Copies of this chain bind each other. A is one copy, B any other.
């Protein structure tokens, strides 16, 4: 309808050359005299020519396979990421970009094994991965990259490696935000506790640092207790924590145990501390509705997974290098009132 669409043919006709020559120029594949090339380029600009992707992909018959690797737990978290990934897969598969989703046990040992297999197998042209632990993976990523095997990280980085790009949150910033919320939601209180666990991953360290940094900058904050949850002896450990938080106004759960801590806090009869944590699940949703958890900080999981894949797609199919090596995603604040939007 309306203005004719401009194709390579349009340009070719106007310049009395063949479409093949036009194509050669557009993708500067060489074999064209500078003079002709100039003319084509000028005409292309004049007519605002853009090659049609559908036709291009069809003709190229390029087929790319990447593996998308992430842990299987916590299920509620990865389920959402998977949804986002699947939507994107739908979008790109007709362009010849194929993705195998591979979930791994969360032990880094297992994950390393899986990744090594993927690279060895020669079945894939690239890897999109959420490293359980960025450190041991760094050298593998490094050797992958050296062998022209592109690797993209998301959700958790392997900063030491030369992965093509990272998509995920800034966890230091997440900690700071938790700090801000803690202060605001307790009515400018003074006493806080942070709960982490023994794993003390990079993510968690960053969160803790962020929270502490915020506390330091805030004059009215009196102290921040650091409490460690023992996942092996959860019950014992929670009991200890319970004793330890009776005198605080706010508790920030930086590890994945928000629901467990919430259950414990629920039993505190008077002056329950304000609870702040991360991520969303059915259980946490309930805790928000019951006013046990005051707020939880989320990152849009749908977006995260799909962006990582899109970057891989652009790189492998369109030879487009990502604009940024670090793609930092939004931190979103979820409370009782908007929690439902974060459930499936």
Question: Residues on A close to B: CB < 8 A?
Answer: 1-2, 5, 52-55, 57-58, 63, 65, 91, 94-95, 123, 125, 173, 176-177, 179-181, 184-188, 294, 328-338, 341-342
Chain B residues whose CB sits within 8 angstroms of the CB of A338 once the complex forms: 173, 177, 330-333
Could you write out 28 A-B pairs with CB less than 8 Å apart? Answer: A1-B65, A1-B123, A1-B125, A2-B123, A5-B63, A52-B58, A53-B94, A54-B54, A54-B55, A54-B58, A54-B94, A54-B95, A91-B91, A173-B337, A173-B338, A176-B337, A177-B338, A180-B336, A184-B184, A184-B335, A185-B185, A186-B187, A187-B187, A187-B188, A330-B341, A330-B342, A331-B338, A333-B338
Q: Is the CB of B331 within 8 A of A341?
A: yes
The contact of A180 among B173, B179, B332, B335, by CB within 8 Å, is: B335
Q: Measured between C-beta atoms, what is the minimum distance from A279 to chain B in Å? A: 15
Closest B residue to A179 using CB positions: B337
Closest B residue to A341 using CB positions: B330
In the complex, the count of this chain's copies comes to 2
Chain B residues whose CB sits within 8 angstroms of the CB of A123 once the complex forms: 1-2
Q: Is the CB of B65 within 8 A of A2?
A: yes
Chain B residues whose CB sits within 8 angstroms of the CB of A5 once the complex forms: 63
Chain B residues whose CB sits within 8 angstroms of the CB of A52 once the complex forms: 58, 94
Chain B residues whose CB sits within 8 angstroms of the CB of A1 once the complex forms: 63, 65, 123, 125
Complex: how many Å from CA A131 to CA B63?
44
Chain B residues whose CB sits within 8 angstroms of the CB of A334 once the complex forms: 333
Chain B residues whose CB sits within 8 angstroms of the CB of A336 once the complex forms: 180
Chain B residues whose CB sits within 8 angstroms of the CB of A332 once the complex forms: 332-333, 338
Complex: how many Å from CA A186 to CA B185?
8
Q: Measured between C-beta atoms, what is the minimum distance from A304 to chain B in Å? A: 13
Chain B residues whose CB sits within 8 angstroms of the CB of A180 once the complex forms: 335-337
Complex: how many Å from CA A332 to CA B58?
40
Chain B residues whose CB sits within 8 angstroms of the CB of A53 once the complex forms: 54, 94
Complex: how many Å from CA A181 to CA B188?
15
Complex: how many Å from CA A331 to CA B333?
10
Q: Measured between C-beta atoms, what is the minimum distance from A80 to chain B in Å? A: 13
Complex: how many Å from CA A342 to CA B333?
12
Q: Measured between C-beta atoms, what is the minimum distance from A171 to chain B in Å? A: 13
Complex: how many Å from CA A185 to CA B187?
7
Chain B residues whose CB sits within 8 angstroms of the CB of A2 once the complex forms: 65, 123
Complex: how many Å from CA A254 to CA B292?
28
Q: What are the 8 tightest A-B residue pairs by CB atom distance, in nearest-first order?
A: A187-B187, A177-B337, A53-B94, A54-B54, A330-B341, A333-B333, A180-B337, A331-B338
Chain B residues whose CB sits within 8 angstroms of the CB of A125 once the complex forms: 1
Chain B residues whose CB sits within 8 angstroms of the CB of A179 once the complex forms: 337
Complex: how many Å from CA A133 to CA B338?
26
Q: Is the CB of A181 within 8 A of B335?
A: yes
Closest B residue to A177 using CB positions: B337
Closest B residue to A61 using CB positions: B5
Q: Measured between C-beta atoms, what is the minimum distance from A215 to chain B in Å? A: 13
